[in-house]
Structure 1
Amino acid sequence: MRASPYRLNAHHPQPLLSHRLLTRPSPSNSLLSSFSLVLVATMTRRVPSSLSLRQQAAAQAQSTLSVSSSASSSFAPIPIPTSAHAQQAASPLAASKHFVLADMDGRPPLDNRACINCISKLSPNEVSQVNWHLDEENKCKLCAVRDLKPEAFTKPFCDFLRENPTVFHTVDYFKTKLRQSGYVELPARDSWSDKIQPGGKYWVTRNGSSIIAFAVGKSYKPGNGVGMIAGHIDALTARLKPVSKKPTTAGYVQLGVAPYAGALNQTWWDRDLSIGGRVIVRDEKTGKTSSKLVQLDWPIAKIPTLAPHFGVGMMGQNNAETQAVPIIGLDSSDSSSAELLGSVGAFVNTQPPKLVRLISKQLGITSYDSIVNWELELFDSQPASVFGLDKEFITAGRIDDKLCSWSALLGLLHSTERDEDSYIKLVALFDDEEVGSLLRQGARGNFLPSTVERAVEALNPTTYGPGLIGQTFAKSFLLSADVSHAGNPNFIGNYLAEHIPKLNVGLVVCGDSNAHMTTDAVSSAILHRVANLCGAQLQDFQIRNDSHSGGTVGPMLSSAMGVRAADAGLPQLSMHSIRATTGALDPGLGVHFFKGFLDFWEQVDGEWE
């Protein structure tokens, strides 16, 4: 089944998908007949406006299928898969992997261009979401992802940033990708003794804001090492205070927020800010408590600047407590602001009433008392987009460091599975890096070391001990992946002339003589060997002696486990601005190198004496 190009109706902004019945009399076309592909005539059923565009497309793609006995002559002829296509369909997992990596699930079929060869390898559900009308400008997405063409990952990365503004949404997104790719969750509170096997793929989370995923080689042997990539998914933001309700000032309803890391700097002024995060809800009927994710898709807050006529500079050291308070409404817009929404002492009474109502409506909560607490934050609502004469840049919020994290996780999903693999591939993505990594979900906690130890114990229940885990760490390597600084043409004097990273070139190997980075001669040589094997390009960066270097999760993790390590990340402009810039090809270049590291680490390690 395929989805043909759809049209947009001025009165119905969601896609109106056109389909047709596929019937092939020849029994040799077993692939199509096995799918039982029955396609719908033009579908105009409305989808609830509260759904996101992606949900709308998914809902329409999954609508009840009806049978049409003949094909409309208005459709272009459909290519018939050959017997060669049918033979290739014998390995559907690889095609489904590329479908996941191309981020095609639930997207409008018009955007999901695919060739007949790739379509022949898809499942019926996946076929229903693709479009095989190709031309020079719209080529097969699945082929592009398979061939690691960097441009194939630009739009998926932008969509990821738009749809997952908080750490909680990001972890939930990664869990979905892992689940679709055959990974199995390991609940941290359960025993893993009988759950981990060679050839298995797993993930575990902590606090809903950090995640570790790993794949055990099919030929794993006791004491073999782990090829690890570690990054962070938190970003500068403004979090709601425990009591975010504030007295009305000059007729404005304001919101009490606190900066996370370096947020609320001057780049946050006059930006359209939305809100999202997790809400802790207690079911009054069952007594069970759970967390629910929420995200508003329109701006609800703004921090207004003061007009220059008042003679107060806005680019100086403005007071973040008194002068960076967002406005979220007018006093007259909520006539019941003095009303208590919950019982005496309830959490909701400490928050702006209209915000409580809005969040409750989004989550379908009818009893305000059931909201026990929440962790909400403000974020730039402007979606990620490409810009430049040749669309060679991506501009977005939260690039630091969802860029390396997203690329690393996709590199793991794209990595090659071989029978002879005897080590463990792992990606660990942490919360709290921007504030020191001191919490349990941060890199200074025991999340990564304990995960490796528990996995090794489950794989070697009779021989596990300090000696075995020590041997495992000695044979392991950590790639600390955090964004680096691209050269800024307006401040080129702030860079060393020999260390000016460029966008759309490749990862940047970061050095620091004061050990803020883990890179040394050995680890740098290892990364360059990996780059040589996978056909990637690396750059070098070190900060000037009269500037201060930032830090990464690398040193703390490397010292905790005693593993060899290097720091390398993708470059960006305007680090720690509410809106930064990277290259349009950089997400894909990251996927390429991270996949190469995971694929070739075992070989490279074996080359060292």
Structure 2
Amino acid sequence: MTRRHGSALDRPWASHIYAQLPEDASITRARASPAPSAQAPAPTDPPVQPEDYTKPYCEFMTANPTIFHAVKSFSNQLEQHGYKYLSERAVWNSELKRGGKFYTTRNSSSLIAFNIGKEYESGNGLGIVAGHVDALTAKLKPVSKLPIKAGFQQLGVAPYAGGLGPTWWDRDLGIGGRVIVRDPKTGKVESKLVKLDWPIARIPTLAPHFGAVANGPFNQETQMVPIVGIDNSDLFEKSASSETSDIPAGSFAATQPEKLVKIISKEIGVTDYSTILEWELELFDTQPAQLGGLEKDFIFAGRIDDKLCCYAAQEALLASSDSTSPGIVKMVGMFDDEEIGSLLRQGARSNFMGSVIDRITEAFAKDNYGPNLLSQTVANSFLVSSDVIHAVNPNFLNVYLENHSPRLNVGVAVSADSNGHMTTDSVSSGILKSVASRCGSTLQVFQIRNDSRSGGTIGPMTSAQIGMRAIDCGIPQLSMHSIRATTGSLDPGLGVKLFKGFFDYFEEVDKEFADF
């Protein structure tokens, strides 16, 4: 059944939004769906109401500021909906069954979830929606403890992708991530999540009164170092540095700010600081995701790129009925490291998704498992690569290509690029348009101007490595790569609507494209 959430707001305009759409060549209006075939019955559950996802999405974004929190939250949600965790270290053949629901993770920072159709046969295809769950940030350095400077305690951090950009100045920054701890009794090593969601760090600007130096350019190593405390002990007879620390010398904890170690230890229930083996912590803007605008038709939040599309993909998977597309595997992929090239083992360039597809194919093979069967499976599959798209900015209309300027609260945008930075082609675009017409979604289109540089995403690398057909699309947002960005209040739900439609109708639509 479609997952329904109580609407938090009275938004009378929401139900009329399609009637208000402008006449724009970049918008593809959904046509009436053709009569469904007997083999693929139309879903009987209630249609997706985009406004139902507004408040839950904001709550998810506020509660899960780091990639580790997001993947853990997605995992917990899957468990609550009957999905079984499969370790990559285990043998899967005896576990995988038709009608089964499963998920696996890698490095606790990437996740793949899948439903196996009740009529699935080895060699049949997979319908996949995949995105990336990492976001721009600043990570603590291996040795984040710094000398006191002019009475300020500072924290050693390094930018991840475009983190520590201009929008990071004067923001209230919390600290979160995972801590690797050894149990002193059993010796077992485990991961604990920590989230210090109050303002701890700040990167202060230089007042304009100091002249040109306050305008930059700025050195990220020396001029964008967060302050986390005050220590004026050097002005007095007793220096804090002369006090004896109860953190063991030579331990990992000794390389980090002592007060930070003690706060984190208290948060995760650790009393022996020497049991902290390592941690992966990052800064994040503590301002919660919230609604804005005269009629609350915006969502303002950090880290929208690309947790927005991952959220919509998972909600769509959970909402898709088991009775639809019963002959395929429905899959969602969420990858780490997209913002830095996807080259690590948990990134989209790794073997993670290919390995899962391989295992599924093998588990249902009878006596003919091998490259031939795996190639058949891939050829019958389709990837919807979902990463956020640039929404049109009314203050900079000149940088957008005419008729290729997506708007907020309209629908998912298909992203095209003539130089192969996106996977979209005529066939993949036709497949998604057919899906949209069946589920009543509106598609937009985006392409960068010839005199601008195109970005990239996981679509080309994933489809090329595995060999499957694919399209690149995404939910529009403003201020991409800012510490705080904007999307429409209906946009999370509009993403759910299209992606659910893909899971529901792909098997039916693919029969129309059997020659491709």
Normalising by structure 2, we get a TM-score of 0.89
* Aligned length in residues: 475
Distance 1:422 1:227 in 2: 10
Distance 1:241 1:337 in 2: 25
Change beyond 3 A, Cα 1:245–1:417: same
Three-state SS of the structure 2 residue aligned to 1:530 is: helix
Distance 1:422 1:497 in 2: 41
Corresponding residue of 2:38: none
Distance 1:264 1:202 in 2: 37
Corresponding residue of 2:30: none
Match of 2:209 among 309, 321, 335: 309
Letter in 2 for 1:286: T
Change beyond 3 A, Cα 1:504–1:420: closer
Distance 1:160 1:184 in 2: 22
Corresponding residue of 1:361: 266
Corresponding residue of 1:519: 424
Change beyond 3 A, Cα 1:444–1:188: same
Match of 1:217 among 97, 106, 117: 117
Change beyond 3 A, Cα 1:392–1:167: same
Letter in 1 for 2:203: I
Match of 1:181 among 37, 62, 81: 81
Corresponding residue of 1:381: 286
Q: Does 1:604 align with 2:509?
A: yes
Letter in 1 for 2:497: H
- Pairwise CA distance, 1:238: 0.4
Letter in 2 for 1:525: G
- Pairwise CA distance, 1:193: 1.2
| Residues 454-493 of structure 1: pairs in structure 2 closer than 5 A | 454-460=359-365, 462-493=367-398
Change beyond 3 A, Cα 1:418–1:208: same
| Residues 260-339 of structure 1: pairs in structure 2 closer than 5 A | 260-312=160-212, 314=214, 316-332=216-232, 335=240, 339=244
Match of 2:468 among 533, 552, 563: 563
Distance 2:100 2:85 in 1: 11
- Pairwise CA distance, 1:230: 1.0
- Pairwise CA distance, 1:461: 5.1
Q: Does 1:164 align with 2:69?
A: no
| Residues 342-491 of structure 1: pairs in structure 2 closer than 5 A | 342-418=247-323, 421-460=326-365, 462-491=367-396
- Identity over aligned pairs, percent: 59
Three-state SS of the structure 2 residue aligned to 1:263 is: coil
Distance 1:456 1:312 in 2: 63
- Pairwise CA distance, 1:336: 6.2
Encode CA deviations 1:13-61: one digit per residue, 9 max, x unaligned: xxxxxxxxxxxxxxxxxxxxxxxxxxxxxxxxxxxxxxxxxxxxxxxxx
Normalising by structure 1, we get a TM-score of 0.76
On the 8 A contact 2:477/2:485 being kept in 1, the answer is yes
Which deviates more, 256-265 or 451-460? 451-460
Match of 2:479 among 574, 592, 600: 574
Structure 2: unaligned runs, 5 residues or longer: 11-44, 234-238
Q: Does 1:594 align with 2:499?
A: yes
Letter in 2 for 1:516: H
Q: Does 1:192 align with 2:97?
A: no
Q: Highest relative contact order (Cα 8 Å, sep 6+), 1 or 2? A: 2
Distance 2:346 2:217 in 1: 32
Encode CA deviations 1:414-447: one digit per residue, 9 max, x unaligned: 1111177111000000000000000000000000
Encode CA deviations 1:385-435: one digit per residue, 9 max, x unaligned: 010000000000000000001000111011111177111000000000000
Larger radius of gyration: 1
Encode CA deviations 1:97-124: one digit per residue, 9 max, x unaligned: 73xx63x8xxxxx9799xxxxxxxxxxx
Encode CA deviations 1:532-582: one digit per residue, 9 max, x unaligned: 000000001100011001000000110111100000000000000000000
Q: Does 1:502 align with 2:402?
A: no
Letter in 1 for 2:335: F
On the 8 A contact 1:337/1:354 being kept in 2, the answer is no
Encode CA deviations 1:115-166: one digit per residue, 9 max, x unaligned: xxxxxxxxxxxxxxxxxxxxxxxxxxxxxx9531111100100000000001
Distance 2:425 2:324 in 1: 32
- Pairwise CA distance, 1:343: 2.4
Distance 2:296 2:407 in 1: 16
Change beyond 3 A, Cα 1:588–1:312: same
Letter in 2 for 1:478: L
Q: Does 1:205 align with 2:105?
A: yes
On the 8 A contact 1:218/1:420 being kept in 2, the answer is no
| Residues 58-97 of structure 1: pairs in structure 2 closer than 5 A | 94=1
- Pairwise CA distance, 1:463: 2.5
Corresponding residue of 1:255: 155
Which deviates more, 533-542 or 455-464? 455-464
Change beyond 3 A, Cα 1:308–1:587: same
Structure 1: unaligned runs, 5 residues or longer: 1-93, 105-109, 114-144
Change beyond 3 A, Cα 1:338–1:241: farther
Letter in 2 for 1:527: L
On the 8 A contact 1:306/1:312 being kept in 2, the answer is no
On the 8 A contact 1:305/1:314 being kept in 2, the answer is yes
- Pairwise CA distance, 1:455: 1.3
On the 8 A contact 2:8/2:55 being kept in 1, the answer is no
Corresponding residue of 1:547: 452
Corresponding residue of 1:3: none
On the 8 A contact 1:236/1:434 being kept in 2, the answer is yes
Which deviates more, 419-428 or 368-377? 419-428
- Pairwise CA distance, 1:338: 5.8
Corresponding residue of 1:71: none
Three-state SS of the structure 1 residue aligned to 2:198 is: coil
Q: Does 1:227 align with 2:127?
A: yes
On the 8 A contact 1:337/1:353 being kept in 2, the answer is no
Corresponding residue of 2:139: 239
On the 8 A contact 1:340/1:349 being kept in 2, the answer is no
On the 8 A contact 2:324/2:503 being kept in 1, the answer is no
Distance 1:419 1:585 in 2: 25
- Pairwise CA distance, 1:340: 3.9
Distance 1:362 1:479 in 2: 39
Change beyond 3 A, Cα 1:314–1:154: farther
Letter in 1 for 2:152: Y
Encode CA deviations 1:343-396: one digit per residue, 9 max, x unaligned: 231000000000000000101110000100000000000000010000000000
- How large is the RMSD of aligned CA atoms in angstroms? 1.9
Change beyond 3 A, Cα 1:339–1:565: farther
- Pairwise CA distance, 1:332: 4.6
- Pairwise CA distance, 1:315: 5.1
Letter in 2 for 1:293: L
Distance 2:271 2:313 in 1: 40
- Pairwise CA distance, 1:297: 2.1
- Pairwise CA distance, 1:302: 0.2
Letter in 1 for 2:78: L
Distance 1:312 1:184 in 2: 58
- Pairwise CA distance, 1:221: 1.4
Distance 2:201 2:325 in 1: 54
